[in-house]
Chains A and B, each alone.
Chain A
Amino acid sequence: SQQGEEDPQALSIQEGENATMNCSYKTSINNLQWYRQNSGRGLVHLILIRSNEREKHSGRLRVTLDTSKKSSSLLITASRAADTASYFCATGNQAGTALIFGKGTTLSVSS
């Protein structure tokens, strides 16, 4: 079962622009993670934000978490063509072991 929804489903921007993706989830969480997947490849962990954190930065990535709204956002600043990929948020399942992924946002950055 999937935990939540990302929006938009697809996003096309120019290099240098910022990209914002949103994720909503349904149950209470300990943390929320964001992953990137290049076409036909495995997943790369980007960033983890804990439930007691509201914002976290890593390089050009900025993640926010609003537990009252059960939502998170991922901002990629100054995007590059190499950022073209699908981005997924993920939270723990009920057992707290496996990750359950949202539907993902496909980002396309053109030069």
Chain B
Amino acid sequence: GAVVSQHPSWVICKSGTSVKIECRSLDFQATTMFWYRQFPKQSLMLMATSNEGSKATYEQGVEKDKFLINHASLTLSTLTVTSAHPEDSSFYICSARDRTIGGTEAFFGQGTRLTVV
């Protein structure tokens, strides 16, 4: 299957700093990528839909100024957690669909474990 690479796999940052997480589709083009957040022992919660060349669509309750999303190319989307606080500590996962096949299967990155201290 297609590969989605997410980087870094884990990061520890100080409270008040910003952290950028990258999501790349390695062998396919993705017009749309998705960002999820997962707290321990819980399910994945959709945060936003990242659209190449346009603004991201955020789910209700997700602060767009805090979670900045940029999708500058068909293979790269980034999520920046700005002014991070301990409550932002979570597992962040991105996914993408292969636009050339209009696939229904979503491919997931390996996730990023963010710890804010």
Where the two chains meet, the residues of A that have a C-beta atom closer than 8 Å to any C-beta of B are 1-2, 30-31, 33, 35, 40-45, 48, 88, 92-93, 95, 97-104, 106
CB distance from B112 to the nearest CB of A (A): 10
A and B contact pairs by CB, cutoff 8 A, 27 listed: A1-B46, A1-B60, A33-B105, A35-B108, A40-B91, A40-B111, A41-B111, A42-B6, A42-B93, A43-B44, A43-B95, A45-B1, A45-B105, A48-B104, A88-B44, A95-B49, A95-B57, A97-B97, A98-B34, A98-B46, A99-B34, A99-B46, A99-B106, A101-B44, A101-B45, A102-B43, A104-B43
In the complex, chain B residues whose CB is within 8 Å of the CB of A48: 104-105
A2 and B95 in contact, given A42-B6, A45-B1 (Cβ under 8 angstroms): no
Nearest A residue to B51, CB-CB: A97
Q: Classify the secondary structure of B's interface with A.
A: strand
Q: Tell me the B residues contacting A by CB distance below 8 Å.
A: 1, 4, 6, 32, 34, 36, 41-46, 49, 57, 59-60, 91, 93, 95, 97, 104-111, 113
- In the complex, A93 Cα to B6 Cα: how many Å? 23
Does the CB pair A42–B105 fall under 8 Å? Answer: no
Known: A43-B93, A92-B104. 17 other contacts (CB 8 A): A30-B104, A33-B105, A35-B108, A40-B111, A40-B113, A41-B110, A44-B108, A45-B106, A45-B107, A48-B104, A88-B43, A97-B34, A99-B46, A100-B46, A101-B44, A103-B42, A103-B43
